[in-house]
Amino acid sequence: MELCQICNQEGEDRRTLRLEYFYDLSEISDKLKKAEVTIRFADGHEVKDVLWTIRTCKDCRGDFLGILRRWTNGEFITQTRGRSERNIPVRVDGRVIMMTAEEWQAHTARLGEPDRAPHQLVR
């Protein structure tokens, strides 16, 4: 029996998700573990690389695949792009998104930093 690293349910059928993204995914979650690997090609040369791994149950794996499907279909694009009233650049999950003052206040409150002042872009 093994715990799912997402929902913490105990079970026998756990799978490992492995990601290679050229980005430090520990910034996203401390549940993702770093695994250093050596890739050996047919011609004999080797490349050292880093994979990020997490063990999940079938339900959590299905949730991830559903989110991946939505992402690859472009469903998240309009939530963070193309809005001119957004003039506060914020690094979130490895990218810079633009936020309104209200979004900034909600974001810093979630982080436990409600009094942090934003850096605004002047146009």
Q: What does the block give as tokens for 21?
A: 């993204």
**Which pLDDT score is estimated for 123?**
47
Cβ contacts of residue 94 below 8 Å, gap of 6+? 23, 27, 28
Query: Pick the residue with more confidence: 77 or 37?
Result: 37
Identity at 33, one-letter amino acid code: K
pLDDT at 81 over 70: no
The answer to whether residue 79 scores a pLDDT higher than 80 is no
Q: What percent of the chain has pLDDT over 90?
A: 44
Answer yes or no: is pLDDT of 45 > 50.
yes
DSSP track, 73-90: TTTTGGGTSS-TT--EEE
Separation in Å, CA 94 to CA 22, 26, 43, 45, 79: 11, 10, 35, 31, 16
Domain ranges of the chain: 2-76, 83-118
Per DSSP, the three-state class of 8 is coil
Least confident among 21-25, 43-47, 56-60, 68-72: 21-25
Region 114-123 average pLDDT: 62
* Residue, of 35 and 86, whose pLDDT is higher: 35
Helices (H), the chain: 58-72, 101-110
Q: Residue 81 has which token pair?
A: 């792009």
Q: What is the pLDDT of residue 78?
A: 55
Over pLDDT 70: what percentage of the chain? Answer: 86
